[in-house]
Structure 1
């Protein structure tokens, strides 16, 4: 049987490629509470997986070549909480690296993510989103 840390590492690994991301999102509650910290266009409090995806990943899909791609750097697990340190390997539509780093603090109910607090570089997100959306 897979231990919890291995399971969480495998789960967050699905964020590496938009083709495998549905496997990650399948383990996020439809009723998730997701807070994106910061002062940028994607920051906010979202209730529901679709609201979060519309405001963040789907919006980023329009400004990043091939969409958002996140690699796992570290996973920390304590009880029902997993902290995922991630970094972006995406490129903007302009061809610039979107070298953002993320820290997602995720609370699980069993195997399902029910709450997330996400921290990232606000300036990088604001620049990439606003500049690339304006260019479209």
Structure 2
């Protein structure tokens, strides 16, 4: 098994900055266990890549002008774990900046991400959704 390195992690995450999230998610296991921490509408534990992207990235894509764009600001690697700090480079549909900060703790197996714990600014996520989302299936505000 090829070990992960800071360079390989930065290369993998680079597609998130250019808005090509599909290239990033090709390296995420179909059965990923992804936990988004917090008390906002995107928080929860997702047991698959499709479930995660449908409830987080796709939902944010509807409230951000150019979708989710994330830039890596820091990476720490130890064996099969990468701690990746990111910042959002997005603008909400109402024109306000969405400059969230993230820390994703990612576990790799066989070259794919199989587990993530994601930390972020819950209040900012709640605000951008409240101010920009008109409808979302399952949204309790309907």
Report the TM-score when normalising by structure 2. 0.90
Structure 2 alignment gaps of length 5 or more? 137-142
Q: Which residue of 2 aligns with 1:90?
A: 90
1:6 aligns with 2:21: no
**Cα distance, 1:134 vs. partner?**
3.5
**Residue 44 (str. 1) matches residue 44 (str. 2):** yes
Off by >6 Å, runs of 4+ in structure 1 = none
Larger helix proportion, structure 1 or 2?
1
SS in 2 for 1:11: helix
> What does the per-residue CA deviation read over 1:100-119, in whole Å, with 9 as the maximum and x for residues that have no partner?
00000000002100000000
Aligned partners of 1:80 and 1:110 also within 8 Å:
no
- Alpha-carbon distance in 2 for matches of 1:102, 1:29: 20
Number of equivalent positions = 135
Residue equivalent to 2:71: 71
Secondary structure at the aligned position of 2:16 is classed as: helix
Aligned CA-pair RMSD: 1.8
